[in-house]
Chains A and B, each alone.
Chain A
Amino acid sequence: METDGLFRPRSIPRPVHRVVRQRIWVRRDEVLDAVESYEGARRTFYSYTYKGQRGGAWVPSVRWDNWEGQDHVDRYDETGGLKDRTPWRDRPLPDVLKLVKMFRRNLLTMDLAGL
């Protein structure tokens, strides 16, 4: 049955909300934390956060996400404070993992929007 998107017939159940959380260890003190949220088969949210360990805590360096529906990449300073934000074209986790493994901490000084 087709709908115009304005209503949802009662016979169609709401898609189940599923979150997949992954921690990918790149090195002993560097991880890429991924959170992806799905409604049915549709990915509605993603965040991929590259973190380093400082003083026993995981501090974010770079984060790709679509928070509030906007694809963007954030960079953080050494205390974890937001430094800058640039638009970003949505790419899958394996692509982001390749970037992290290839450039690691150099990502902090690169033009991320162009990657």
Chain B
Amino acid sequence: MRVEIARDVGAADVGREVEGLKARHKSFEALRQRVFVERCNEPDAEDDYVVWRALREEGGALEERTVFETPDVFRALTPRRVDLLEALRGGEVPSIKELAAKLRRDYKNTYDDLTALQSWGLVDLRREGKNQRPIALVTSLHVSWEK
């Protein structure tokens, strides 16, 4: 069984990606120095370099996919959590509190469900001042079986 999740990476996502790269490596030059001069041999640093180099180029693009080769993911995708994903896909929500209010749900349960989805890479919780903004990392979900 295979569950494939695709995510459209728009301009705002690219901006967030670059902010994340800057937070991890300070600058593109610093990262280049680390992987080519210092030869850090760190997989994540080398992959970040490849992604950042593409995003710096005019027309450079990033595509993201998450694939589950394990049925364990269905433990994360309970009906209530799928509702959360759907609500997040329906429009940006500035905080968990507002999402809970929108769905008429308890804050703690909403938070717990979001962190469960986050642990599978389906949601990102971005710190914005005092709040955490929940962002769905899912555009489409496709389930299939190999022959």
| A residues with CB within 8 A of B | 16-28, 33, 35, 37, 45, 47, 49, 60, 63, 65, 67, 74, 80, 82, 97, 101
Contact = CB atoms under 8 A, between A and B. Distances in A.
A63 B53 CA distance: 21
Interface in B19-70: 41-44, 46-47, 50-51, 53-55, 57, 59-70
A63 B65 CA distance: 19
B47 A25 contact: no
B107 interface: no
Nearest to B36: A68
Given A60-B43, A74-B41, A82-B41, A19 B50 contact: yes
Contact of A20 (B63, B70, B73): B63
Interface of B: 41-44, 46-47, 50-51, 53-55, 57, 59-70, 72-73, 120-121
A45 B51 CA distance: 11
- Chain A interface mostly helix, strand, loop or mixed? strand
B61 A24 contact: no
B137 to A, nearest CB: 10
A15 to B, nearest CB: 9
Given A22-B64, A22-B65, A28 B72 contact: yes
Contact of B121 (A23, A26, A80, A101): A23
Contacts of A101: 69
Contacts of B60: 16-19
Contacts of B70: 25-28
Contact of B66 (A25, A26, A37): A25
A21 B61 contact: no
Contacts of B72: 25, 27-28
A28 B55 CA distance: 31
Contacts of B121: 23
Contact of B120 (A16, A25, A26): A25
